[in-house]
Amino acid sequence: MFEYPKSGMFNLRVSYHSNLYRPPVDVVESPEDFLVRIEIAGVEEKDFSIDFDRNRLLVSGIRHDPYKNRSFHQMEIHFGEFQIEILINQPINRDEIKAEYRNGFLEVSLPKAAPHDIFIKDKDA
């Protein structure tokens, strides 16, 4: 039986698109799942989307600038579009993925798929 390496750098890859805003991301692994936590305070639920396909979690959206007609003296809070791609090299139970947005954090739970045996049927039997 093949086991995936335990080191995070082998289990997943987080990538950003260079010209977009980059919210902080934590990815935590337990024996049961991966938990992705993204700090995106100020984004309304209608302004982001979540997609999972071929072991790729894609979270994208926009944080609107509420200060359109003002001049900044200091700017540390980023606004604009963001896109985060997380590749997970482990089977995920797609039907059990859950997402929750609370207190400025988006949490996506990606349950690991249970291993299953494939039995070979003898054609001559």
Residue ranges and CATH numbers for the domains of the chain are 9-67+74-111 (2.60.40.790)
pLDDT per residue over 88-105, tens digit each?
989 999 999 999 999 999
* Those residues with Cβ within 8 angstroms of residue 101's Cβ, 6 or more apart along the chain or in another chain: 45, 107
Position 46 pLDDT exceeds 70: yes
Percent share of the chain, pLDDT over 70: 84
The pLDDT value given to residue 10:
41
Low-confidence winner among 25-39, 75-89, 102-116 (lowest mean pLDDT): 75-89
Query: Are the CB atoms for 57 and 36 separated by under 8 Å?
Result: yes
Determine the pLDDT at residue 22: 85
pTM for this prediction = 0.77
| SS3 state of residue 60 | strand
